Amino acid sequence: MITGLEYPTDRKTGMPVDFRDLNLDSRLNTAQPRNFNRHHEFWTRRAYKQVGSFVIMQTLRNIETHVPHMLLDMHEQLHHEYDPPKMPTPLQAITEIERAKDAGEVLTEYRGGIYVCRAIGDDVLRQCIANYDQLKK
């Protein structure tokens, strides 16, 4: 949904800037866990299927640092004021996945009502590279 301002991205990496740099306001009590939810910094799974790079983009979307906890009102404000960030290229996405793997970051996936974390292993990276090779054909 196109609603307003372009979401800023890092020109070099193609990754969205940290939402904390957008000066969003909250009136909610930060001590109450129920006032938080998780925000995916990237487009929906449906959008990735349309561009043919589902494995790469879904992996990128699930890197834990790209699914931050946000106060509910800030999350709503973010979606109201900003369009989704520009979709990174598959190569930018793989570069970010490799960076996250090397930094020991994990993937966080929503399963059965809870978020489950798993390592970004060599198998995950191989699947992404295979998806990228298919795109080049």
User: For position 103, what pLDDT does the model report?
Assistant: 96
Do 75 and 28 touch, CB atoms closer than 8 A?
Answer: no
Question: Where are the chain's structural domains?
Answer: 19-136
**Mean pLDDT for each 10-residue chunk of the chain (137 residues)?**
73 84 82 82 67 82 89 88 84 94 92 88 94 86
User: For position 36, what pLDDT does the model report?
Assistant: 82
Helix axes 122-136, 90-102, angle to 10 degrees: 170
Determine the residue type at 40: H
User: For position 84, what pLDDT does the model report?
Assistant: 81
Q: What pTM was computed for the model?
A: 0.79
Task: Match 């992996």 to its residue by tokens.
Answer: 59
User: For position 52, what pLDDT does the model report?
Assistant: 66
Give me the phi and psi of 54, to 5 degrees please: -60, -50
